[in-house]
Amino acid sequence: AQSVTQPDIHITVSEGASLELRCNYSYGATPYLFWYVQSPGQGLQLLLKYFSGDTLVQGIKGFEAEFKRSQSSFNLRKPSVHWSDAAEYFCAVVGIGGYQKVTFGIGTKLQVIP
Amino acid sequence: DGGITQSPKYLFRKEGQNVTLSCEQNLNHDAMYWYRQDPGQGLRLIYYSQIVNDFQKGDIAEGYSVSREKKESFPLTVTSAQKNPTAFYLCASSTSKENTEAFFGQGTRLTVV
């Protein structure tokens, strides 16, 4: 069975500092990987996705993620965090069978301090 | 503008009542999904539908029911059999392709009073 681990439930960074949110997955083959962001009381917005090809993926709002097969990881990064990035971030993995087989991590809540 | 609309945004229910959450999409997506979100548990799949007039149970379907009479609509009914219905409910849709992402609505917060 596939699984997703986001080891950091809560992260605090200073505005302007770099950010890395960790995501590890378990799946027998190369999965489809996603990062979503959720502001309080809102739905999920797709930041970026990995299906195949280049392992460094660029997304919206200045985010990027790198797929590392050897480490089963898909960490999200941003070189300089803005106060508006404060939100909850979810990593998700989709295996064979389409999106009905998606598994979400429990989320990482990001706090940005001045 | 294409997207997914969930209504209402907030919903209060008395114990023992059924309530229906609306989800409409104009993205021409074949597949639609309902998730439940609780703090610290991520998103859990309640039901999904890949085509009109067909739907399947997800991981936590007990106490919920759905219908898919139109491609654009996938309403979720929270029945009185659901023991702990207070949660944030998210609807999503996607194409039927395997390498696809889902688009989410803004959610409905259901509170049992």
Going by C-beta distance under 8 Å and a sequence separation of 6 or more, which residues neighbour residue A81? A13, A14, A15, A16, A17, A18, A19, A110, A112
Interface test with B, best of A99, A101, A104 (most B CBs within 10 A): A99
In this complex, which of B31, B41, B97 lies closest to A106 when CB atoms are compared? B41
Residue A83 is which amino acid? Answer: W
Round to whole Å and give the CA distance between A72 and A100: 21
Whether omega before B8 lies within 30 degrees of 0, making that bond cis, reads yes
Report the share of chain B in percent with pLDDT over 90: 78
Residue-by-residue pLDDT tens, chain A, 114 positions: 788 999 999 999 999 999 999 999 998 777 899 999 999 889 999 999 998 888 999 999 999 999 999 999 999 999 999 999 999 999 999 877 666 678 899 999 999 999
CB contact under 8 A, A45 and B105: no
Q: In chain A, whose CA is at the least distance from the CA of B30?
A: A99
DSSP class of residue B25 equals: E
Contact A7, A89 (CB under 8 A): no
Q: What is the pLDDT of residue A87?
A: 97
Q: pLDDT tens digit string along B40-97?
A: 788 999 999 999 999 999 999 999 999 999 999 999 999 998 889 999 999 999 987 7
Any idea what the Cα angle at residue B27 is, between residues B21 and B33, rounded to 5°? 40
Q: Tell me which residue of B19, B7, B25, B14 sits closest to B103, measured CA to CA.
A: B25
Instruction: Extract the tokens encoding B60.
Output: 């936590």
**Residues for chain B: how many in total?**
113
Annotate chain A with DSSP letters as a single string: --EEE---SEEEEETTS-EEE--EEE-SS--EEEEEEE-TTS-EEEEEEE-SS-SEEE-GGG-EEEEEGGGTEEEEEESS--GGG-EEEEEEEE-TT-GGGEEE---EEEEEE-
Q: What is the pLDDT of residue A99?
A: 67
Name the 3-class secondary structure at B79. Answer: coil
The residues of A whose Cβ lies within 8 A of any Cβ of B are: 9, 32, 34, 36, 41-46, 49, 51-52, 90, 96-100, 102, 104-107
Any idea what the Cα angle at residue A36 is, between residues A32 and A101, rounded to 5°? 40
Whether the pLDDT of residue B5 is over 70: the answer is: yes
Q: pLDDT tens digit string along B84-111?
A: 999 999 999 998 777 788 899 999 999 9
CA-based nearest distance B79→chain A, Å: 23
CB contact under 8 A, A98 and B97: yes
Q: Distance between alpha carbon B102 and the CA centroid of its chain, in Å? A: 13
In this complex, which of B42, B48, B58 lies closest to A104 when CB atoms are compared? B42
CB contact under 8 A, A45 and B104: yes
